[in-house]
Structure 1
Amino acid sequence: MKIKEINDFTLISKDATMDHIIENLNKSTYKILFVSENNKILGTLTDGDIRRYIYDKKNNLSKLKAKDMMNSKFKYIYEDEYEKLSYNDLLKYNVEYLPVLNKNMEIIKVIRIPINFQEISKLKTKVLIMAGGKGTRLYPLTKVVPKPLVPFRDKTIIEQIMEQFINSGFDEFILSVNYKKELIKNYFMDLKYDIKYIEEKDFLGTAGSISYLRFYDITKPFFVANCDVLLNIDFSEVLEYHLKENADITIVSSKENIDVAYGVIRFDEKNNFLQIDEKPNYEFFVNTGIYVLNPEIIELIELEEKIDMPELLKRARAANKTIKVYQSKSKMTDIGQWEYYKKFL
């Protein structure tokens, strides 16, 4: 359901006949045609445009041409503008298909913005990132810089996480900070991210700073993410799943597997041998540290209470809240431990 670039769009002549138009619409994966003359785009044409024209004009179908029925007031964007815009900027065009043109009005590519993606994005879902820990698993690196600012590839860890959410249409962030918080705030001072801060007075565990959200006008489901995991998924699909399942909490999981280098002995409760599984592979789903929470969950935590997420989940179950698990097919990249992090250096 992500925004995607389309290169296999269909161009037709402005003088294309109805037979040619229908044939190309049937063949088109995207059910939209781009009407052009000498490669210059003149308009767009969908089956809806055809129906509306026929209903209004009631003309002889055999004489109709593409130029008669096309939408000549279509929305588009120039190539140099497109390169500067974020996904949320593109959403403001409020169309499913947005042509990208050069200065000669020639079509370069088409951006597809699925309707479901647009509706999910209108929720203006906030993302709370837990960025206040000491990052002891990355010692000695985090004795110098806080874990969120540790470099990973061409950006910091926290920017990589934020970009993944931005690419899914979510760009409103709340950072929970504590350890070396001034370094983090100063780093983002001149960067173009939409960020608010929660400043912990003490270390509150993996869920305690959620309690501060009672002061942030949270009226819709929101994401909570740890600051050490990358997951290449479309987070708008996670939110859509959460809403569809009427969940109060959704835990994002990732499939992992372990190869056992030895034969595993199976036996019963009386130690009678059953069989040996030779070097088995075990598959299971692990917690990624990424969640979707409904606003009501905030009230399960006392203000400034120290609490970890497993305990919050227990409280939610005791309160008869619906907790769902989203099964991600993407492999999790854990960059919060030195043994894993140094593999990427």
Structure 2
Amino acid sequence: MVLAGGEGRRLRPATLTVPKPLMPIDGIPILHIILTQLKNAGFTRVTLSLGYRAHMIRASFGGNRWSGLELDFSLEEEPLGTAGPLALLPPFEESVLVMNADLLTDVDFADLWSHHKKSRAAATIALSPQDIDVAHGVVELDEERRVTDFREKPRLSFLVSGGIYVLEPSLLRFLPPRGRHDMPTLLDHARAHGERVEGYVIEGDWRDIGTPEQLDLATTAFRTDRARYLGRRGVAELCADTGAFSRAVTG
């Protein structure tokens, strides 16, 4: 399931006319890149959770089959968050991959899936290592206000959620039948009830295209090495699909 219903407010004014999942990365809609990657990883059926300008996204695929994938379209009448759209699906009996539609990454989806299946976890979160350089000296105090540490302009390292998850059907019992619900809340409920939630660290590239600056960086990275993200076969297939994006932006 690809979550493609957001308004992309941080990308305005561009998203006033084109929904964020159709934002072009070097001329190719990001959602088309994602679906090509999923197909290359062995997926055959994808549900797109749509909301804002849903008709444009559907039009960009020209039907329920696209590049060998079977597509289902699920419409959010109101924003449902990152987990709420799961409640609109028919009950599923197998694992499901859920991801955001605004990501450029070279993560190996097949390896992520295999890792999850071997782990026997209820959920696996793809994680991206991120560093933040602090421009000032960082001081730590104890309870008596004595300085215990003083680091000049340190680099802090984190693992951030990559917006990509593999979930087991058992998690559905923690999901309200309706209304907005986000993935961190769902997974917190699962962990509180003893379910195992694991992390999968992305060793390659991961980029959120949520701002104009991030979109530009992603475009540069993709333009420099398309095969890194798509493989040679995927590059050829997407280059041949020149009409889809035109249909999307013209409505």
TM-score normalised according to structure 1 size: 0.59
Structure-2 separation of matches of 1:187 and 1:304:
29
What corresponds to 1:205 in structure 2?
81
Structure-2 separation of matches of 1:151 and 1:227:
12
What's the offset of the Cα at 1:150?
1.1
Are 2:180 and 1:296 equivalent residues in the alignment? no
- Encode CA deviations 1:261-308: one digit per residue, 9 max, x unaligned: 222223322222234212221111000110000122223223332111
SS in 1 for 2:216: helix
Are 2:18 and 1:145 equivalent residues in the alignment? yes
What's the offset of the Cα at 1:320?
2.1
What corresponds to 1:220 in structure 2?
94
**Conserved? CA contact 1:211–1:299, under 8 Å:** no
Are 2:59 and 1:186 equivalent residues in the alignment? yes
What corresponds to 1:157 in structure 2?
30
What corresponds to 1:57 in structure 2?
none
What corresponds to 1:326 in structure 2?
200
What corresponds to 2:224 in structure 1?
none
Which of the residues 133, 158, 165 maps onto 1:259? 133
What corresponds to 1:313 in structure 2?
187
Which of 1 and 2 has greater Rg? 1
SS in 2 for 1:188: coil
SS in 2 for 1:324: strand
**Conserved? CA contact 1:256–1:331, under 8 Å:** no
SS in 1 for 2:55: helix
What corresponds to 2:237 in structure 1?
none
SS in 1 for 2:173: helix
What corresponds to 2:110 in structure 1?
236
**Conserved? CA contact 2:5–2:52, under 8 Å:** yes
| Aligned residues with identical type, % of pairs | 35
**Conserved? CA contact 1:255–1:331, under 8 Å:** no
Task: Name segments (4+ residues, structure 1) moved above 3 Å.
Answer: 342-345
The within-5 A match list for 1:108-147 is: 128-147=1-20
Looking at secondary structure, tell me which structure has more helix per residue: 2
Instruction: Using CA pairs under 8 Å that are at least 6 residues apart, name the structure with larger relative contact order, 1 or 2.
Output: 2
What corresponds to 1:284 in structure 2?
158
What's the offset of the Cα at 1:222?
0.9
SS in 1 for 2:60: helix
What's the offset of the Cα at 1:253?
0.3
- Encode CA deviations 1:205-234: one digit per residue, 9 max, x unaligned: 111110122x2x622111000111222121
What's the offset of the Cα at 1:337?
2.0
Structure-1 separation of matches of 2:74 and 2:173:
17
Gaps of 5+ in 1: 1-127
Are 2:209 and 1:335 equivalent residues in the alignment? yes
- Encode CA deviations 1:293-335: one digit per residue, 9 max, x unaligned: 0122223223332111111112212332211111221232111
**Conserved? CA contact 1:252–1:290, under 8 Å:** yes
SS in 2 for 1:291: strand
Structure-2 separation of matches of 1:194 and 1:203:
24
TM-score normalised according to structure 2 size: 0.80
Structure-1 separation of matches of 2:185 and 2:13:
30
What corresponds to 2:231 in structure 1?
none
Provide the aligned C-alpha RMSD in A.
1.8
Specify the code of the residue in structure 2 equivalent to 1:322.
R
**Conserved? CA contact 2:107–2:206, under 8 Å:** no
Structure-2 separation of matches of 1:208 and 1:332:
24
Structure-1 separation of matches of 2:133 and 2:44:
38
